[in-house]
Structure formats: structure tokens, C-alpha cells
Amino acid sequence: MTALNFTQLKVRTVVNIFTYCTGALSILALSGEVPSVYPAVLLGAMGLSVLFDLKKIIIPRWILTILSMVVLLYFFLQFNMQDLIGHIMEILFVLMGIKFLEHKEFRDYMQIYALTVFVLAGLGLMTFGMAFVAYLLVFFILLCLSLIFLTFYSQDPELELTNQTIRTVITKSLWIPVLAIPLTGLMFIILPRTSYPILTFLNRPEKARSGFTDNVRLGQVSDIQEDERIIFRATMEKVDESVLYWRGITLDHFDGISWRGPKRAYYSASRGSSPVGQRINQTIYLEPYENSSLFGLDKPVHMDLRAVRKYDDLTFAVPSYIERRVRYTVFSIISDTVPEGAIDRQKYLQLPRLLSSRIVSFAREFAVPDDAEATIRRVADHLNSDRYTYSLKGLPLTKNPLESFLFDSRSGNCEYFASAMAVLLRVNNIPSRIVGGYRGGYYNEMGNYYLVPQKYAHVWVEAFIDGKGWVRYDPTPAAPEAFTPVYKQGVFLRLQLFFDTVNYYWYGIVLTYNLERQLSITRSIFAEIKKPSVSFHFLKSAAVRHTGTALVIIILIITAWTLARSASPREIALLNRFLRKLKALGYPKGECEGLEEYAARIPDENIRRTSLEFVRRFENIYYTDRPFMAEDLKALKEIMERIGNAQ
């Protein structure tokens, strides 16, 4: 009896297990998306629910109903339309916790499942990444299993199920999601899609990452350079790390503390010739951030994006801030130089009105008469020497930060080095400007794309040389930790890259799948069908080959299905062996004869007695819908073996 209890569970217990799993799934899914107090409330309520079930404590429903009304009133008074979905999720968490505290019957379980559906729907409005899909699939499987066992529960809450029955029900029930999920994927591919989503107003705005604005203040970029989050990914071939400069903005006006951008002119064909060098195509996936600038490798000359604006300084932007992830293609040329003829020299020689005389005197020491390039090299070599160190800590934030950097602290990050070089060049009558963007990136070999985190934010200098144009110089000491590619070794980091690859392809293939791509795929299919270059002979041979392959696959599937259908359960196979053995002994069973009637008419007393023992034990299990356990089959086999010995 003890063994029987150990191998059996009440259907109420099974339903409770699946129900608590759905609650735990809600907590996991929304962790990080809502304040942690609400998942904690639900977790605490689930723990109390288990305790109440064990102690047979029942809270009156009217108390929990009043509590639910108070919660709804509280949230109504605190309601804020700026994060509509977030507040709804908070309400759902509290209501689900209250529902767990109730003495649960059929409708209570159904209400918990319904609340979980709404929670996961809300997660889809907050973020539609791979994590959401994983949670949705797990919940779909749990829901299918829960509803099956809930059907048993509705008939008899105290029904006891053996472990084998539970396993059988789970195995059979899993066919529902196994068949439904591929069908859902097919419907996703073929159903027409619209470019005008109806419910986007419900979506939670994506969190913008702080990034470059239209000005760079000395000491400001250091905050970005400590941010590990990814700002964009770039699908492209792997290139030498020395050319990994991602251009974003140019800055030309310096007030002694900060740089601001110019009033940029739209691109004109008269600005000069295009850069010359290696051509690189990229597909950029840019995360939302607090600006409108777009990034491209080195010297981007074309970007394919709706409403994009191209400027004469080879920078690109969109009309408004980038509040959602965007995808665009970039055509770049790898070159240190941007060819340009005449420029507004006064604009690029501007200096702060109260520039320190100490800086001016210092700058004159680098001048090489009638040789701008030599002067530039001397300034760059000085800043790149061991006289200065790269650091993100203890940055000079005085009233004259540039003077403090050059003569006192001699330590700073890229904006100090670039600002110092640009000012020293301007003092020597060499036009210069600051370029802002990102430097470096680490290459994901699995996905063939670069990941560029915020910490790789960087500024460098472009100096104007007559007869050449704008030439790039980076005075920041080589290989600073801020943009050194460190993600090369370690199992944990490789695992991170793997999951990033999954999310990357999820966004690139699924989330960007729209009507335009559907039409493109359809046109490609019809174009292949209508190709005149495809010969009839080729089509005929291909058709024969593929038809033969399809037929083989169909035959194998039918054969496997037939064998599976014809395969008898172990107990039926054992019964057939029993009947064959008696037939071999000269006692065949009549077609319409019952088992017990058949065994009772055997004239040999020993065989009759043993056969009746076998039949009665078999029927006692079979006709009570009790599954045949391993020990049952073993006992029946032993009885059957005695039949041969009894003759």
C-alpha cells in the first residue's frame, strides 16, 4: 500500500504544480521589466498559498474580493499614461497574487491562466525579443498540459493518477504544441503583413541609451565609456582593427570647455571628390539613443534609410531622435583623408576668446615654418608620448580644463587629447575639427558582425591640409582600455556571444519581416519559375529527382506510421502469446468466446487452473483501466510459463 501511495498523485496536486509553474514563469518573464517589489509580492503570495494548502487554511472570498477592489482603486489613483503597459503589469501581478491566496477551484485555475496570458501579452508589448518567444513557448506547453489535467480535475478533484498515467498524458498532450508551433511559423510567413501597426501606441517606449549629443563637454564622454551596453551591431566582413572608426558627428566650435557642431549644409556635388580606398558595405542595427546621428564605418558616403539626411562633412542623421531600434545599410570607403577644396578657414581656426596665453606659447613651440604636416606630426607625437596617460578617473574639471590637462594633471580621456590637438593646431593656423563616434568593436565570428558597446565612444581630430583635404589624426594614446577588444576568451563570454547571435538574427530575420520583404520573396520565387535560361531538360531531371525523393520520404512516413499503429501494447502482446501457447497445446480460442469462458472449458485440470489464474489476473487489471506495471507483466509471464510445465 505504501508503494502504491508513493507512485500516485491526486489530480489536484498535479494541477497545482502546473499552476505554480505558470506563476513562476510570470515572475521570470517580467523580472527587470517592472519594479522588483511586484514579482516579490507574487512570489510571497505563492509561498503563502502553499502554506495555506498544507495547513488547510481558507481565507474567505469576500475578504480577498475587498482587497482586490482596494488594489484596483489604489492603482487607478496612481495611474500614469506615460507607461500604460508597465502599470497594467503591476496590477496583474498583485491580482494574480491575490488569486493564488484563494481556495482554488476550477474557475480560479482558469483565471490564473488568463492572468498569465495577459502578463505575457504585456511582455510582448514591452520587448519582442527572443526571451519573450522562449517564455511564450514554455507557457503554451504548460497551458496545454494544465488544461488536460484540469479536465480530469473537473470530473473528480480527488482522482488519483499513477506516475505512468501522468507520463502518458504528458507525452500525448505534447503533440498539441509540437504540431501547433510549426503551423504558427508557417502562418507567420505567408499571412499578409501591414506596414501600419494598429496597436503600437500601447508599446512601452524603448529605453534610450545616453550617447553623443550635438556637443561634447570635457569630462562628459567618460560616463559613456564606462557603459557596457551595446549601442549598435554591424554586419560586415572583418577588417583590420586600425580602421575601426565609426563616424557620427563633427564639431568645430570650442568655447574652452565644450565643442558644438556646425550648422551643417546638405551634401552638394561641388564639395570635392569622394574618398579613395577600400569599399565596405555594412548593415547597421542601431539601438535607441538620445540623438539623431547615424554611424558608419570610417568615411560613409551613402546610407539607405528613409528620410536620412546627408551632410557635406560625411555625416548622416534622421529628422528626430532615434527612439526605436533602426536598421540601415551603409556604403563606406576606408581612407584617412576626406578630399576637399576650399573651406571656411575662419570657422575651423576659431579659438576661445579667453584662451590661456600659456597654451598659445606652448603651441608655438611645435610650429615648423611652411610645413603644416610636420607641425601636425610634432603635436600628435607629443600627446602620444609617455608624458601623458589615458584615464577615465580624476579628470580635470576646472574652469580651464584644457590648461589643467596639458600642464598639471597630464591625464585624461580621448576628448582631452583630441581637444588639445585641435586647439594646438588652430593656434598654428592649421584648420581642424573634432569627429565624434566610436572606436573599435569586437567581432562575433558566429554571426559575422561587429558589436560596438557604449564604452567604445571616442573622439578624434581631422586636420585640413592644402592639396589633400581633411586628414584623420588620433592623438589618444594607443590601445586604451576603453576600446581594446577584450571579448576574445572564456566560456562565459562565448556563451554571451552565442545568445547575442541568436537575438541578432531574431531581430534581423523575424522582427524586420514586413510586407516589403514578403513581396520581395514572392517576386524572387516567380522570377526563378519564369527564368527562360532554365532548360526543359534540367526542369525535367530536377522534377524527377525531387519527385523521387518526395515519394521515398512519403513512403517512409507511411511505413513508420503503420508500424506505430500496428505495434501492440505490451499487455496485448503478452495476451496473444498466451493464446498462441494454448493453441499449440491443442486448445484454440473460439472467435466469439470470452477469455474466462475459454479457459474454463479446457479439459486438462492443471492447464485449466493455471490459465484461469492468468486470465483473472489479466482482467482484474485490464477492465479496471489500471495500467500494467512492470511487476504485473512479470507475474503474468511467470504464470504463463507454468502452463507449459503443467501439462
How do residues 262-279 score in pLDDT, each as one tens digit? 776 666 555 556 788 899
Among 308, 301, 313, CA closest to 271: 313
CA distances from 135 to 131, 176, 588 (A): 6, 17, 58
Nearest to 378 by CA among 425, 433, 431: 425
Model pLDDT, residue 245: 95
Region for 239 from its dihedrals, namely left if φ exceeds 0, alpha if ψ lies in -120 to 50, beta otherwise: beta
Q: In this predicted structure, what is the pLDDT of residue 559?
A: 57
State the pLDDT confidence band at 280, using cuts at 50, 70 and 90: very high
pTM above 0.75, yes or no: no
- In the prediction, which pLDDT does 3 show? 39
| Dist CA 254 CA 424 (whole Å) | 12
**pLDDT at residue 647 greater than cutoff 60:** no
Res 567: pLDDT: 45
Q: How far apart are the first and last CA of the chain?
A: 36
Q: Rounded to an integer, what distance in angstroms lies between the CA atom of residue 94 and that of residue 39?
A: 9
- State how beta strands 389-390 and 411-412 pair: parallel
pLDDT at 306: 84
- Give me the pLDDT at residue 80, please: 67
Residue-wise pLDDT for 315-363, tens only, equals 999 988 887 788 899 999 999 898 888 888 999 999 998 888 999 999 9
Q: 96-110, 256-270, 583-597: which range is least confident on average?
A: 256-270
User: Are 65 and 108 a contacting pair, CB within 8 Å?
Assistant: no
Distance (Å) of CA 151 to CA 15, 155, 157: 10, 7, 10
Confidence of residue 163 (pLDDT cuts 50, 70, 90): confident
Rounded Cα distance between 48 and 426, Å, is: 72
Q: Is the pLDDT reported for residue 547 higher than 80?
A: no
Closest C-alpha among 212, 225, 224, 437 to residue 321: 212
Which pLDDT belongs to residue 160?
85
Residue 212 has pLDDT above 90, yes or no: no
Is the confidence at residue 289, as pLDDT, over 80? yes
Residue 138 is which amino acid?
A: V
Give the dihedral of Cα atoms 312, 315, 318, 319; nearest 10 deg: -50
Cell numbers 558595405 correspond to 281
pLDDT at position 645 over 70: no
Q: Helices 37-55 & 11-30, crossing angle to 10 degrees?
A: 170
The C-alpha cell at 420 is 588639445
Q: Which of 332, 243, 341 is nearest to 279 (CA)?
A: 332
CA 589, CA 578: separation in Å to the nearest integer? 11
Enter the C-alpha cell of residue 458. Answer: 571616442
Range 373-389 average pLDDT: 92
Does the structure show a pLDDT above 80 at 292?
yes
Contact 21, 15 (CB under 8 A): no
Alpha helices, H only, 428-514: 491-505
Per the prediction, the chain carries an average pLDDT of 80
Closest by Cα among 305, 302, 299 to 285:
305
Q: Could you read off the pLDDT of 9-25 as tens digits, one per residue?
A: 888 889 999 999 999 98
For residue 490, pLDDT over 70 is answered with no
- What pLDDT is stored for residue 399 in this prediction? 84
Close Cβ partners of 39 (under 8 Å, ≥ 6 residues apart)? 27, 30, 31, 93
Structural contact between residues 417 and 473, judged by C-beta atoms closer than 8 angstroms: no
At residue 250 the predicted structure's pLDDT band, cuts being 50, 70 and 90, is very high
